[in-house]
């Protein structure tokens, strides 16, 4: 019982610190002080310490000699490396998704995407991005591979802030719309090669846009 309670507190600390990093509340370069964080979360230092170990393993925190745990910044090279892994895994997932016995959810999403007739409208633009995230989630979950799903979810979270930057690129919503339709068509039709090609092209396109905006804004 005590062990379960301790695990629960560790998970609470992990989620709380990770969410602070993703929201920007804990910005890159911020030092994570165990005592202060434990006090803020209303728990002991032990689960915070354990959460920091987990967060370091997942790439959200880096422990530096003489400085302790800090929120690292993502460089362009980090973005490229993470995206290479994401691209390879999602390409595999897209091929597997082509053999899904039930593609009704993807067909429904295609209909919703095609109903968007003005991607310059902020509401429709956000819906387009929302549908895009759902498409990726369905394709990834179709693998049934829990390890792959966990790795890709971790990468999605690490790339969250930089992927938001890609939306600032000119015509990003329109380009993403066309790319998602191509992915959907290929997967629904069961065209393995086209599904892989389309999803690789999409991920590379998003990454290139994110890098361009990142370099303009921060370099």
**pLDDT tens per residue, range 200-212:** 999 999 988 888 8
For the chain, the domains span 2-70, 76-218
90, 183 contact by CB (below 8 A): no
Separation between Cα atoms, residue 174 and residue 205, nearest integer Å: 12
Question: Which CATH number applies to 2-70: 1.10.10.10, 1.10.150.120, 3.40.50.300, 3.20.20.80?
Answer: 1.10.10.10
For 165, residues 6+ apart whose C-beta sits below 8 A from its C-beta are 209, 210, 213, 214, 217
Average pLDDT over residues 14-19: 91
Separation between Cα atoms, residue 214 and residue 21, nearest integer Å: 18
pLDDT value at residue 212: 82
Would you tell me how many other CB atoms lie within 10 Å of the CB of residue 134? 17
pLDDT value at residue 112: 96
Instruction: Say whether 69 sits in a helix, a strand or coil.
Output: strand
Q: Does residue 4 surpass a pLDDT of 60?
A: no
Separation between Cα atoms, residue 73 and residue 21, nearest integer Å: 11
Instruction: Say whether 53 sits in a helix, a strand or coil.
Output: helix
Reported confidence tier of residue 139, pLDDT bands at 50, 70, 90: very high
Q: What is the DSSP letter of 186?
A: H
Reported confidence tier of residue 219, pLDDT bands at 50, 70, 90: low
Q: Does residue 2 surpass a pLDDT of 60?
A: no
| pTM (2 d.p.) | 0.78
Domains 2-70 and 76-218 share a fold: no
Tokens of residue 215, six digits = 């370099």
What fold does the segment set 76-218 form as a domain? Answer: 1.20.120
């Amino acid at each position: 019982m005590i062990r379960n309670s301790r695990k629960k507190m560790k998970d609470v600390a992990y989620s709380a610190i990770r969410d602070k990093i993703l929201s920007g509340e804990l910005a890159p370069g911020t030092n994570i002080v165990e005592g202060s964080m434990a006090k803020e979360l209303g728990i002991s230092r032990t689960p915070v310490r354990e959460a920091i170990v987990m967060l370091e393993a997942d790439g959200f925190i880096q422990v530096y000699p003489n400085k302790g745990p800090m929120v690292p910044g993502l460089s362009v090279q980090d973005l490229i490396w993470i995206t290479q892994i994401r691209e390879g895994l999602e390409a595999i997932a897209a091929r597997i998704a082509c053999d899904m016995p039930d593609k009704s959810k993807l067909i429904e999403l295609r209909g919703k995407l095609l109903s968007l007739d003005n991607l310059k409208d902020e509401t429709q633009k956000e819906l387009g991005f929302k549908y895009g995230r759902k498409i990726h989630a369905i394709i990834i979950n179709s693998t049934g591979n829990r390890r792959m799903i966990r790795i890709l979810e971790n990468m999605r979270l690490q790339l969250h802030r930089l992927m938001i930057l890609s939306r600032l690129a000119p015509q990003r919503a329109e380009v993403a719309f066309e790319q998602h339709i191509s992915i959907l068509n290929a997967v629904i039709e069961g065209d393995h090669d086209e599904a892989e090609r389309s999803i690789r092209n999409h991920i590379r396109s998003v990454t290139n846009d994110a890098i361009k905006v990142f370099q303009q804004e921060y370099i």
